[in-house]
Amino acid sequence: MGVLRPAHAERTSLAGPAGALQALIETPVTESQGAQPASAFAVVCHPHPLYGGTLDNKVVYTLARALEQLGAPAIRFNFRGVGASAGSYDAGRGETADALAVIAYGRRRWPNAVLWLAGFSFGGAVAVRAAAQAGPQRLIAVAPGITTIPVTDAAPPACPWLIVQGDADEVVAPDAVRRWVETLSPAPELRTLPGAGHFFHGRLHELREVVLAFMAQAPAGAMGA
């Protein structure tokens, strides 16, 4: 793929069901090839809107950059009522609709690309809820906030998916995540990071490596599968 240069950053607003959604679209560029047609694109959902979650969260950034490293343009966006996004908090229902609107934009922009859907905390639960309708090729949920918004009413994704959970998470109970995973069929891959808290302080590099290892498994979309 050549040496990856800093991604081209496009700050924009996208049409959402409650009004405009503030978004950051980063497109990978390589020294040898320049910008290339995307065979996958990523959408990454941020943590809880009422507790400081935004598209600039460090875990969200880490997820986006890992997927960009694999050649996928990545969309980070603010849910309704966050930053410059219109609307107000809607307990996961409206936020799921926001995510689906962003995914629809990505599919219009990159019509031949598969979707990689990811999220952290509240955004991880939103990604799980959105996946049944969105049909991603891959799903990544980091410390998904399943105790904050319901996910049991959403059909388990049919695609390969990864859950990354710290066993010292002080926000989302690791046992609750494990019990939930045991009910799922097909089951996701659950990776537990010993000693990691909810925000993965000092562990972001390790989180990135776990994500890259998961994405290296076939099918690989933008990696040539």
pLDDT per residue as tens digits for the range 93-140? 999 999 999 999 999 999 999 999 999 999 999 999 999 999 999 999
Q: What's the total number of domains in the chain?
A: 1
The confidence score (pLDDT) of residue 5 equals: 60
d(CA 29, CA 111): 19
How does pLDDT run across 59-87, given as a tens digit for each residue?
999 999 999 999 999 999 999 999 999 99
Whether 148 and 48 have beta carbons less than 8 Å apart is answered as yes
CA distances 148 to 20, 48, 51, 108, Å, are 25, 9, 12, 31
Whether 105 and 15 have beta carbons less than 8 Å apart is answered as yes
| Amino acid identity, position 202 | G
Cis peptide before 111 (omega within 30 of 0): no
More confident residue, 93 or 35: 93
Q: Percent of the chain at pLDDT above 70?
A: 91
The confidence score (pLDDT) of residue 223 equals: 42
CATH no. for residue 182? 3.40.50.1820
The confidence score (pLDDT) of residue 154 equals: 86
Cis peptide before 174 (omega within 30 of 0): no
220 pLDDT above the threshold of 70 = no
Domain holding 112, by residue range, is 4-223
Confidence of residue 26 (pLDDT cuts 50, 70, 90): very high
